[in-house]
Structure 1
Amino acid sequence: MSVFLLTINSAESEASEKMNRLLASKYGQGNYIQLSDTAWLFEDKDSVTPQQACSVLDLNEPNNVAPYYGYLVSAFTGYWGFQESDVWQWLKLRGL
């Protein structure tokens, strides 16, 4: 199991809503959490690399939001900061 951080280069609500729908359709509710209008954490049980996770999400497909706004997917292995308690709980459930 790997956790990834996905960011997009647009704070437009349409872009955020499309990305939420995409993550829900590929990973299901509870396997991702939105950090902001432009950032999400998601869990992928099969992917090991960010490139594999991008393939699962089909981020380069023309119907998806990412090609129009730009995106970055990175492996999420450590953290420090301030967030809502539901984010910390989500991470804790994944052993991070």
Structure 2
Amino acid sequence: MAVFCLTAPSSHQSFQLESKLDAAYPGDKKIKLYDASVWLVSDSDTNLPQEVFNKIFQGKESNNTSILITPVNAYWGMQNPQVWDWLESKVR
């Protein structure tokens, strides 16, 4: 299963993005980091950031859409234990 990090500007747009993520990645397929501007998502259907983008926006993005989607191939650092547990369950 592939894991991706999604980063968006902290703004009203990130609130809209969160609702789109809820629809595209329900339940434990995502976890929020920090505030409403950084998420991790797991996707068993793709390894490509472009396909994650298409799944979230379904061709309805606008010129105001600003998001960076990067694959998570390895990770290290300090974070909430809930995030480590989530990552460990998805990256196996």
| TM-score category of the 2 structures, normalised to the smaller one | 0.7 to 0.9
Pair 1:42-2:38 in alignment = no
1:33 corresponds to which residue?
31
Q: Give the partner amino acid of 2:70.
A: S
1:74 corresponds to which residue?
70
* Deviations 1:24-57, CA, capped at 9 Å, x for gaps: 1011021101112321100111011111111111
2:4 corresponds to which residue?
4
Aligned length: 91
Question: Where do 5+ consecutive residues of structure 1 fail to align?
Answer: none
Q: CA RMSD in A?
A: 1.9
TM-score with structure 1 setting the length: 0.81
Separation (CA, whole Å) in 2 of partners of 1:51 and 1:86: 27
Percent pairwise identity: 29
1:90 corresponds to which residue?
86
Separation (CA, whole Å) in 2 of partners of 1:33 and 1:24: 10
Higher relative contact order (CA 8 A, sep 6+): 2
Runs of 4+ aligned structure 1 residues displaced above 4 Å come to none
- Quickly say closer, same or farther: Cα 1:59–1:7, change in 2 above 3 A: farther
